[in-house]
Amino acid sequence: MHATRSITLTPAGIAATVLVFLVAAACVRLGFWQLDRLEQRRAANSGMEERVAAPALALASAPDDTAGLVLRSAEIRGTWDPAWTVALAGRSRAGAPGVHVLAPVRLEAGGALLVDRGFVPSADAATVSADLRPRGRADLTGRLMPFDPSARSDGALRSRTPGSDTLPTWFARTPDGLGEHIPYPLAPLYVVAESPSGPGPYPAPSALPEPDDGPHLGYAIQWFSFGAIAIAGWAAMVLRGSRHAGERPESPA
């Protein structure tokens, strides 16, 4: 006969049960944390969309205050400074290696802005012709992006090789820190050009990235799943132990 099934409590079993429920609770908490981050990102995206949709600013002078300006469209009027045009290495577009060409603009009413003019193909993602230096009037439209105020040169500015006709190359992830090499102050924002800044097809202006929810919803589902797996695994082990405890060999007749 089978004896009544029961669960035997042991110190090890109690400790394992507590551990499982602590792990499950932590997973659930992390899941809700990711949902909170999702809401924060959606709120930030909403604010970004409002700034993107706002009318373009006409910048006659370099702004000192960046409040409310990030991602605003701006009409830039001034004069290019070709002497400080550089290639930002390590860029790509549609799988093709290249650079972004950066150049400062001296604004009509004072100050200077760094402009990311866009993408240029380059076989080594570092070297492009010095013919890409802009000259004369600067008339373009772009998006204002922030510099990191604490940034320092995290890359190297490689001067062009003597005798070659190529742009100096900036080896860094972003333009942050490049202002240390330019002999006059730059505004605390730079401009990502959205309209052509030269007569040819390159530099090709950059498209504004589309806002998205990021990975937070997927991460939340993963954490909730981990918690559910922990509880389900614990329940399966308990039921299995209960079945084994209830099995007794029948006594001989």
Q: How many CB atoms lie within 10 A of CB 195?
A: 12
Closest by Cα among 179, 118, 122 to 153: 179
Q: Tell me the range of 2-16, 65-79, 155-169, 219-233 where mean pLDDT is highest.
A: 219-233
Q: Is the pTM higher than 0.75?
A: no
Pick the more confident residue, 143 or 59.
Answer: 143
Give the range with max mean pLDDT: 51-65, 84-98, 148-162, 231-245: 84-98
Q: Whose structure tokens read 């012709």?
A: 129
CA atoms within 13 A on the CB side of 175: 29
Q: What is the pLDDT of residues 193-237, one digit of tens each?
A: 988 777 778 899 887 667 778 889 999 999 999 999 989 988 888
